[in-house]
Structure 1
Amino acid sequence: MKPRVEKLYQKVANAIATAIGEGQYAIGTRLPGERELAEDFSVSRPTVREAMIALEIRGLVEARHGSGLYVTSLPNQSEAAPELDVGAFELIEARILFEGEACAVAATVIDDATLAELDRALADMTAFDPASAEALHADRRFHTLIAESTGNTVISSVVENLWNIREHSPLCAHMFAEARGEGVNPRVDEHQLIVDALRARDPEQARRTMHLHLRRVVEDLLSATELDVMERARSEIHQRRVQVARRLGIGHSDTNERPRATAG
């Protein structure tokens, strides 16, 4: 039996955990920024992102709004690090490869009944709260229907397994949950473009629209888990509030009436 290959994000996470355990980063210390860590380890920023989230799941670090990631505890040397398996970026890379080709094949053989089912899945995505379990189920059903429509059981099994990984890998599930918390949900308009290409029986366009959709998912995840961006935005909003409060005299001891919130 071959030894399990350590994933790149795991190598980064384990190296930082070791540095924490050896005292390089004491409890309460702020970790270097994402860009600096990416350069230090010669990896991409998405890999650093997955490593940081893995460390959060382990309880070794925490994100502090407007400040960065701070060490909160030492690793337990007697306890093996939890196996977090696949991260969201690694998963989507595989989905681009497999689902793009599945979509191209589907365009050559898909029947009207399956197209009608895809329309119903789209309707469900629109009808339900985008962050609800029902909408997420409709999203999965949409993609697995396309794979099933190829008539190739291996293709449909691979795509089904990719979605199982998305739901059951702790790291992947955590990253998508964070993204949903930032308002990232299935894009119905992009799914509609995929259906349009399938209905036109255009393999190249079907592949292209699936690729564009999944690459947009990557962009959304990068934005939603971008600590530096979120922290900077929150910090800027806080500073604006402080400036407005200062100008309006809010918080003065002789000011009893608070301004009312207005819409727009």
Structure 2
Amino acid sequence: MKTQRLFWNIVNNVEALIDSGVYSAGSRLPPERELAEMYDVSRPTIREAIIALEVRERVEVKTGSGVYVTAQHTSALAEKIISAFELTQARALVEGEAAALAAHSITDAELLAIQQTLSDMKTADNADQADQRFHAIIAEATRNTAVVNCVENLWHIRRTSPRIIDAYSDVCSQSCEQRLQEHTKIYNAISNRDACAARRAMHDHFNRLINALFDASEAKALEEIKRKTDKTRDLYSLSHLRQ
């Protein structure tokens, strides 16, 4: 009974890691030995968990190669309706900690690469790509593959969800100078090796973005209310009865 509980705990844990994007589509799970050490269980227990994951079509076992995450299930998170507000809050939480970690481990070469993205952000045509690269470099500087995968998956949702693309488009285009200033502040904190300041600067950046999204959402809601009111006014107006 104890072995069965351990076995299902591992299945549930690995599935959660797949759904969160830590183990992305096509990626290979750690070797059996490493998984056994990671979960502090026997290798036979790991084998049973892998069999269950394969039956659920979460992974594919390739003899002589390893265990790979199947593509059809890795989009489970993206298939759910995620609002721009939820995505931005998640990015703030993940990337705030990434900035704090990076402040301790970033290299001089990576700092120079970030400086280049700040320069590129000054040009409208390059701003969005430079923005993404800025955050990617910080994630890479954490030396934590799980953090890198999380940031990449959040950016994937940002780039592929029509609803979020629409919500971000007006907000980002209207605040290019402010975006550059916020990113510069994040860079300065990381460059100074100040983890607390880096986390705070990243949170400030996303907090401003969340407020801007709310402002844009309220403006659209008011515009829709006005449109419906005008339509109703025209419907009941007596103007068309005048001779």
Moved over 6 A (4+): none
| Aligned residue number for residue 154 of structure 2 | 162
Residue aligned with 1:226, SS: helix
The RMSD of aligned alpha carbons is 2.5
Q: Is the 8 A contact 1:121 1:139 kept in 2?
A: yes
Decide which of 85, 91, 98 is 1:89's aligned counterpart. 85
C-alpha deviation, 1:226, in angstroms: 2.0
Decide which of 115, 120, 123 is 1:119's aligned counterpart. 115
C-alpha deviation, 1:169, in angstroms: 1.3
Counterpart mapping for 1:1-264 below 5 A: 85-126=81-122, 128-129=123-124, 132=125, 134-180=126-172, 183-185=174-176, 187-227=179-219, 231=223
Give the alignment's TM-score, normalised by structure 2: 0.56
Structure 2 letter corresponding to 1:189: Q
158-167 or 218-227, larger mean C-alpha shift: 218-227
C-alpha separation between the residues in 2 aligned to 1:228 and 1:170?
17
Cα offsets for 1:9-43 (capped at 9, x unmatched)? xxxxxxxxxxxxxxxxxxxxxxxxxxxxxxxxxxx
Structure 2 letter corresponding to 1:125: M
1:170–1:229: structure 2 CA closer, same or farther, 3 Å change rule? closer
Q: Is the 8 A contact 2:118 2:130 kept in 1?
A: yes
C-alpha separation between the residues in 2 aligned to 1:161 and 1:199?
26
Give the alignment's TM-score, normalised by structure 1: 0.52
C-alpha deviation, 1:224, in angstroms: 2.4
In structure 1, list runs of 5 or more residues that go unmatched.
1-82, 235-264
C-alpha deviation, 1:173, in angstroms: 1.2
C-alpha deviation, 1:157, in angstroms: 0.8
C-alpha separation between the residues in 2 aligned to 1:179 and 1:137?
16
1:180–1:208: structure 2 CA closer, same or farther, 3 Å change rule? closer
Q: Is the 8 A contact 1:84 1:171 kept in 2?
A: no
1:155–1:223: structure 2 CA closer, same or farther, 3 Å change rule? same
Q: Is the 8 A contact 1:85 1:170 kept in 2?
A: no
User: Identity, % of aligned pairs?
Assistant: 42
C-alpha deviation, 1:170, in angstroms: 1.9
- Residue-pair matches, total: 148
C-alpha deviation, 1:86, in angstroms: 1.6
